[in-house]
């Protein structure tokens, strides 16, 4: 799973979360940064409150958080979700390349973006994908590329 810091950077760079069942998320800046939540059919549900998407909590007697806007949450995308987001962002490139490799030092995500091959390294695959996606989001934002 990616770090909360990288997840925050991805959110700030413009990664859009279309919340769904089994998505992981954090509730930052409320004394729960080290806790990871998951949307499921049991404890946390995705609802609409006054026209806004919210995550509601049911059956939690130990704390009084009835709902929270998804805009206040930080999505922690899985490795699969990050890979798919990368493929989606790179789909208009002349050469589509998204490759994850590993060796004893860690993982390397290799992409081709704007005709240039780039590598992103991390101790785990999720963060390598996340760093590549962050690069694309930040550079697309700077150049007004969507």
Assess whether 22 and 41 both reside in one domain.
yes
* Both tokens assigned to 8: 């925050």
30 and 68 inside one domain? yes
What is residue 108's predicted lDDT score, i.e. its pLDDT? 98
Segment 34-74, tens digit of pLDDT: 889 888 766 667 888 889 998 887 655 445 566 788 899 99
> What's the CATH code of the domain at 104?
3.30.160.20
Note down the domain range covering 89: 79-142
Q: Does residue 128 lie in a domain region?
A: yes
Residues of the chain with pLDDT under 70: 41-44, 58-66, 143-146
**The pLDDT of residue 61:** 47
- Same domain? 66 vs 95: no
Tell me: do 86 and 123 sit in the same domain.
Answer: yes
pLDDT at 137: 96
| pLDDT for position 45 | 74
Which three-class secondary structure state does DSSP give residue 116?
strand
Q: Report the 10 Å Cβ neighbour count for 102.
A: 12
| pTM of the model as a whole | 0.80
φ/ψ (deg, to 5) at 70 = -65, -25
Is 138 in the same domain as 108? yes
Residue 4, domain member (yes or no): no
Choosing from 55, 75, 95, the residue where a domain stops is 75
Is residue 67 within 8 Å of residue 75, measured between CB atoms?
A: no
So what's the pLDDT on residue 125?
A: 96
Query: Is 104 part of any domain?
Result: yes
CA distance 84 to 82: 5
Tokens of 72: 């206040």
88 with 63, same domain: the answer is no
């Amino acid at each position: 799973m990616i770090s909360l810091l990288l997840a925050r950077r991805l959110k700030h760079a413009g990664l859009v979360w279309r919340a769904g069942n089994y998505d992981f998320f954090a509730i930052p800046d409320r004394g729960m940064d080290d806790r990871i939540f998951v949307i499921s059919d049991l404890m946390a549900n995705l609802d609409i409150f006054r026209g806004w998407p919210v995550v509601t909590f049911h059956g939690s007697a130990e704390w009084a958080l009835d709902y929270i806007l998804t805009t206040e949450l930080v999505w922690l995308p899985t490795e699969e979700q990050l890979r798919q987001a990368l493929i989606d962002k790179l789909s208009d490139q002349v050469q589509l390349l998204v490759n994850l490799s590993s060796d004893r030092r860690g993982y390397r995500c290799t992409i081709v973006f704007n005709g240039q091959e780039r590598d992103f390294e991390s101790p785990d695959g999720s963060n390598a994908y996340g760093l590549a996606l962050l690069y694309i989001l930040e550079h697309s934002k700077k150049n007004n590329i969507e």
